[in-house]
Amino acid sequence: MPLRLATFSDLDAISKILAASFYNEELNDRIFPYRKQFPDDYVFVWKQKVIKSWWDYNKIWVVSYDKDPAQKSGEVITGTAEWAREGKGSDRLWGLVRWWDPRRLVSPSIGIFYTFYRLLIPNRAVPVSSLSDPNPLNKWNFARRIEPFSARFFTDPPSRANHWELSTLAVDPAYQRRGIGQELVAWGLERARRDSLPAVVIGAKGTEPFYQRCGFLHIVGNVSTAEIDDDDDCKKVARLDKTNPLKLRGITGGSVLWTHLADEDGKQ
């Protein structure tokens, strides 16, 4: 199935594919416990993520599509991948001048806008504080709270900081098992190969065989069981997360898979 770069008008379809394909993922029971009761709110969270990320100039959204004469555009989006370029050189990905290019402010500004939006109009699909879980994980605090536990898999040795990352991958459930997922992965691995860089992905539960088949050969650890053993990392941890918040909630996915292993000199 053909692939192309996503356009702004694809974002609605992308959000719906993410919402549908991740619907039964183990993490969703924690971060979207009320998705059944409030399906529109659930999709809206994905849309917020996609729109914010669309304006992140370190990222590239790719879509797969099929011909569909019934659609106004003549095609239907069948799958999507969000690829991120991290480290040295990532500030030039979309022809931005440098790190100080004002266009870099768009994505954080959208994040601030949605923060205020949520305060005014609370999203009903996400968890609320309770006695058993006073600080629940949700889609907005997730990356920030997991980062201290996952950082070492991305920066140790330091040469690893320079890489391509598959941040999101999803295929419409109606189109799965037709090779689309592998094609979307191959697109980014080819970019990484052209840049002579390794690529990394954090896999959802049970996806390790799929990713290894695609070329992410090496499992170097698991974010959901990682502990913090370094004093500097400890300082970075939000005070509420002394223990890994995934481990605490019994979430088991999160294998970190690289295409290449770093050698002892720190080269990939």
Ligand X SMILES: CC(C)(COP(=O)(O)OP(=O)(O)OC[C@H]1O[C@@H](n2cnc3c(N)ncnc32)[C@H](O)[C@@H]1OP(=O)(O)O)[C@@H](O)C(=O)NCCC(=O)NCCS
Nearer to ligand X, 202 or 228 (CB): 202
Based on CB atoms, which residue is closest to ligand X, 169 or 228?
169
H or E stretch including 120? helix 106-120
Distance of alpha carbon 223 from alpha carbon 227, whole angstroms: 9
Please report whether residue 21 would count as binding ligand X according to CB under 6 A: yes
Kindly state whether residue 181 participates in binding ligand X, applying the rule CB under 6 A.
Answer: yes
Pick from 141, 176, 225, 252: which binds ligand X (CB under 6 A)?
176
Distance CA 124, CA 106 (A): 26
Residue numbers 22-51 binding ligand X by CB under 6 A: 22, 25
DSSP 142-199: HHHHHHHHHHHHHHSSGGGGSEEEEEEEEE-GGGTTSSHHHHHHHHHHHHHHHTT--E
Among 31, 125, 137, 170, binds ligand X (CB under 6 A): 170
Q: From CA 145, how far away is CA 31, in angstroms rounded?
A: 13
**Part in contact with ligand X (CB under 6 A); list of ranges 66-74, 153-161, 176-184, 259-267:** 176-184
Q: Are 216 and 200 in contact (CB under 8 A)?
A: yes
Q: Which is nearer to ligand X, 62 or 228 (CB)?
A: 62
Residue 248 corresponds to which tokens in the numbers above? 């605490």
Q: Is 204 in the site for ligand X (CB under 6 A)?
A: yes
Binding site for ligand X (CB under 6 A): 21-22, 25, 169-171, 176-182, 203-204, 206-207, 209-210, 213
